[in-house]
Amino acid sequence: MKIYNSLSRKKENLVVENNTVKMYTCGPTVYYFPHIGNMRAYIFMDLLRKSLKYCGFNINGVMNITDVGHLVSDSDEGEDKMEIAARRENKNPYQIADFYTNCFFNDLSRLNIELPEHVEKVTNIIDDMINFIKELEKKGYTYIIDDGVYFDVEKFKKYGELSGKDLSKMGVNRIDENKQKHHPFDFALWKFVPENHIMKWPSPWGTGCPGWHIECSALGEKYLGNSIDIHTGGIDHKPIHHENEIAQNDAKEGKQVVKNWMHVEFLQVDGGKMSKSLGNLYTLNQLIEKGYTPIDFRYMNLLTHYRKSLNFTFSSLDSAKSALKSLKNLVNEHKNQNYITKQEILDNYNKEFIDAISDDLNIPLAVGVLWKMLRNEQKSNDIYNQALKFDKVLSLDLDKNDETKTQEEIPQEILDLANQRKIARENKDYKLSDEIRNKINEMGFNIKDTKEGYELSKI
């Protein structure tokens, strides 16, 4: 299998030990509803995981849930997004994190995205992050200023290899607001916070919270050790977040920790950037309100290679919806047909499919193989079964022609009640929990408790 490595800037053969791919994926910051641009990154993650499995690999995957420590920008500026969201909604940051984590998991489920083997909230690994920083401190890569503990990038000679930054062209940051950072690219490992900050922990350097970048390094080490085969994320993470991860990882271990970096390009809207101010920051629920299914949106993503920008328009989503319906009809025409397709023909199509997904995840070509097989071959249940095998990667519910994946929007009132019930259960207030469950049932929805929190479905 060949993948494009952002670090070497070329396609490389994927080489792993014991046939198991150790894979890390940058997860969400759970301070607001995920939008469809976020979802493109996780559809990519899902396609990569399922393609690897289809090609015979095992996977040990990890993803973080950032519920603390993510500031307004990648450059350690501004205020923690969790604290801002807590004030906006008159809740505490932990309630904010629980609510939007469940929204995120719900969207993944609706898009047929499977979770990695390990999904961990950052607040669960505070000690791991502190210990990681201690090791960097022992090796002389850190320094302390008024607002926190920082990584000294000039002491890490490979800094800039991923993004192409050139430290020699940047002077000492004399215009920095606190006038203390040694270099403008230096980044926070641990941030000191004021007394009224809710999410704070004791550390050897003072009470505070982790910087954003340290979480992925510590979590990756916790579950994958000091050698990671693939690290994925959005292209926006490449110049700062992932550059800083490399610095932390390799400085601590004295070697290259992540072998391959894979980045998915942006999803644009009407040819431009998505933003709240432009009113084009769509969520999955908003697409459902307009009459589309989550799988319509998934199929749209499959038609553009992950390393190319995807331009979202409602016209293109209409086309994807129509094409998916036609695709499912074609699949259904082959179902239960008695004609026997030669195994050689099935094997050739399977080889074409594998060749496509093995060539840096060429999913558009793989979808083309599926269409060609369905159109060119005589109606046969063998072709139907082969299409369902391909669907183990594509996850388009090709065996569900009645659009059973369509899910009505779960009203905000129901989501709020579900979150209140979750908090009641955590507080062991089971009487209140039962009362809320009954109210949810009366309003036409079922709620099921899961390891991640809960699942809601319409009765």
- 239 token code pair: 């110049």
Q: Would you state the pLDDT for residue 276?
A: 67
Q: Would you state the pLDDT for residue 77?
A: 59
In angstroms, how far is CA 434 from the centroid of its own chain? 33
Q: Of 369, 287, 347, which Cα lies nearest the Cα of 321? A: 287
- 255 token code pair: 């070697």
Q: Of 89, 86, 103, which Cα lies nearest the Cα of 38? A: 103
Q: Would you state the pLDDT for residue 177?
A: 54
The answer to whether residues 92 and 198 touch, using CB atoms and an 8 Å cutoff, is yes
Number of H helices, E strands in the chain: 14, 15
Q: Would you state the pLDDT for residue 404?
A: 43
Look at the chain and count its residues.
459
Surface-to-core class of residue 116, CB atoms within 10 Å of its CB (0-12 exposed, 13-18 middle, 19+ buried): buried
How far apart are alpha carbons 368 and 448 in whole angstroms?
Answer: 38
Q: Would you state the pLDDT for residue 170?
A: 52
Q: Would you state the pLDDT for residue 78?
A: 60
Q: Which residues contact 32 (CB under 8 A, 6 or more apart)?
A: 85, 100
Q: Would you state the pLDDT for residue 171?
A: 46
Give the amino acid at 450: T
Answer left, alpha or beta for residue 331, where phi above 0 means left and psi between -120 and 50 means alpha.
Answer: alpha
The answer to whether residues 294 and 284 touch, using CB atoms and an 8 Å cutoff, is yes
Q: Would you state the pLDDT for residue 69?
A: 62
Give the amino acid at 198: I
The answer to whether residues 328 and 284 touch, using CB atoms and an 8 Å cutoff, is no
How far apart are alpha carbons 321 and 308 in whole angstroms?
Answer: 21
How far apart are alpha carbons 317 and 110 in whole angstroms?
Answer: 17
How confident is the chain (459 residues) per 10-residue block, as mean pLDDT? Answer: 97 97 96 93 98 98 88 58 81 88 94 97 97 98 96 95 80 52 93 88 96 95 98 96 97 98 95 74 91 96 98 96 96 96 98 98 98 97 98 96 51 85 84 88 82 75
- 213 token code pair: 């970048």
Give the amino acid at 428: K
In angstroms, how far is CA 98 from the centroid of its own chain? 17
Q: Which residues contact 175 (CB under 8 A, 6 or more apart)?
A: none
Listed by start position, the domains of the chain span: 2-264, 268-394, 412-458
CA distances from 431 to 98, 207, 208, 452 (A): 21, 37, 36, 22
Q: Would you state the pLDDT for residue 10?
A: 97
Q: Would you state the pLDDT for residue 430?
A: 84
Domain 2-264 -> CATH class: alpha beta
Residue 66 β-bridge partners: 29
